Amino acid sequence: MWESNALAFPSGNANAPSALPSRPFTGGGNLGTLPVRILGWSYLTEEVDEVRLAIPSKILLPALLAAACVFTPVQPAAQSQQPGQAAQMPAQAAQHPLKVVGFMTDFDVKDDAVGICRAVMDGIAPGVRILDITHQSVPFDIAMGARFLAGSAPYFPRDAVFVVVIDPTVGSTRKAIIARSKVGQTFVLPDNGLLTLIQDRDGIVEAHEITNPAWMIGSGISSTFHGRDIFSPAGAHAARGDDWTQAGPALDVAKLVRLNLHNASIDAAGLHGEVIGTDGPFGNLVLNVPAETFFKLGYKVGDKVPFDLDGQRAVLPFVKTFSDVPVGSDLFYIDSRGRLGLATNQGNYSALHKKGAGAQLAIPKK
């Protein structure tokens, strides 16, 4: 029979009803085992005789019988995801995870061109991760695009897809291509020399012209916006794992268009190099002089380096970083890409000295 004592739990722990031992339910009849939920705690009715309530049994028993009809069944807890455990994906998605896309153009960001291209890629490969390299490469400057592409590719996954649109001859007979490097990265771009530095450093193992309409945006291909109509859709197909060799016929890798790019040389007179660009808004001169080539001249950090830049002669310190010289002073240094550079501490060397890409540099041996 039920006892009309105060509410109590075994071991005196009112916050741990799960510790209740199992016992047959008694009192006016056997309810068997019924799932009940009281104050958010789940019990079985066979445990109820351990709950002592200050209510007469003739009132309590009918109330329990009525309540049992509306008590919700106790559901087993769903299996929780363990920390570090990847969420389960559909088989097809697991087989072809989306690849990261590196996106670079000379479109700038003043209009909707970049956003349209990104929307096209996401429409074909929903959820694709697109990382913008830059959209402010100097318009029509293929050499700059090749330099930015080669400089950024090592920091992307080995299976990344690059969509690059610096295309001054868009709509002409130049080919739209998709190529794979020995590293495993895929490049979707015009065949105009953008791949030159990648090919020199990483090697290109295979290339195809993009002619398959299924790899384009559809009907109505524009003659002036292949970034939207060809390169973005083709890049998205590659990113979602489609067979990239189906984009079109194979090309002879040895016949891909190349730029006439070269590093500095050294002869008996010293080093001969040139300016190949400027470093963003800071105006530092980017030189085609790898650090290891410069060091062959015998200079070390702290030395004064004489040089001739397009007929202007000067002597500058070779230092580790900009702040090693006073503000406004010029310097030689090794830049973050491992090349010799010319800069002005907190100034714009290019603007101050009116020098830019194409300027010829000569440095004698030490």
pLDDT the model gives residue 220:
78
Q: Which of 2, 68, 81, 83 is CA-nearest to residue 36?
A: 68
Beta strands in 135-231 (DSSP E): 161-165, 176-181, 186-190, 204-209
Q: Is the pLDDT of residue 19 over 60?
A: no
Structure token pair of residue 89: 């994906």
Q: What is the mean pLDDT of residues 146-175?
A: 97
pLDDT the model gives residue 34:
42
pLDDT the model gives residue 63:
52
pLDDT the model gives residue 49:
40
Class of the CATH domain delimited by 265-363: mainly beta
pLDDT the model gives residue 218:
83
- Other CB atoms within 10 Å distance of the CB of residue 100: 16
Task: Assess contact for 145 and 194: CB atoms under 8 A.
Answer: yes
User: What is the total residue count of the chain?
Assistant: 366
Which amino acid belongs to residue 268?
A: A
Expressed in percent and rounded to 5, the helix, strand and coil fractions of the chain are: 30, 25, 50
Task: Assess contact for 105 and 166: CB atoms under 8 A.
Answer: yes
Q: What are the distances in angstroms from CA 247 to CA 144, 184, 209, 225, 236?
A: 27, 17, 7, 19, 12
Task: Assess contact for 30 and 23: CB atoms under 8 A.
Answer: no
Q: What is the mean pLDDT of residues 337-347?
A: 97
Q: Is the pLDDT of residue 37 over 70?
A: no
pLDDT per position as a tens digit, 351-362: 999 999 999 999
H or E element at residue 293:
helix 291-295
In the block, residue with structure tokens 């015009």: 190
Q: 43 falls in which pLDDT band (50, 70, 90)?
A: very low
What are the helix and strand counts (H, E) for the chain?
9, 16
At residue 223, φ and ψ (nearest 5 deg) are -90, -5
Which amino acid belongs to residue 196?
A: T
Give CA–CA dist 37/27, Å, rounded. 19
pLDDT the model gives residue 21:
43
Instruction: Indicate the fold that domain 94-255 takes in CATH.
Output: Rossmann fold (3.40.50)
Structure token pair of residue 151: 């400089």
The dihedral formed by the CA atoms of 118, 123, 127 and 129, expressed in degrees to the nearest 10:
-30
Q: For the chain, which residues make up each domain, given as ranges?
A: 10-68, 94-255, 265-363
pLDDT per position as a tens digit, 101-157: 999 999 999 999 999 999 999 999 999 999 999 999 999 999 999 999 999 999 999
3-state secondary structure of 190: strand
- Give 44-102 as a DSSP string: EGGGGGG---SS-HHHHHHHHHHHHTTPPPPPPPPPPPPTTPPPP--HHHHHSPPPPEE
Q: 219 falls in which pLDDT band (50, 70, 90)?
A: confident
**What is the SS3 assignment for 217-269?**
CCCCCCCCCHHHHHHHHHHHHHHCCCCHHHHCCECCHHHCCCCCCCCCEEECC
Which amino acid belongs to residue 28?
A: G
pLDDT per position as a tens digit, 72-109: 444 444 343 343 333 333 334 445 799 999 999 999 99
- Other CB atoms within 10 Å distance of the CB of residue 156: 18
Q: What is the mean pLDDT of residues 15-39?
A: 42
Question: Among residues of the chain, what percentage have pLDDT more than 70?
Answer: 74
Beta strands in the chain (DSSP E): 35-38, 41-44, 101-105, 130-134, 161-165, 176-181, 186-190, 204-209, 265-267, 270-279, 284-290, 304-309, 312-317, 330-334, 339-344, 360-363
Mean pLDDT of the chain: 83
Q: What is the mean pLDDT of residues 166-185?
A: 97
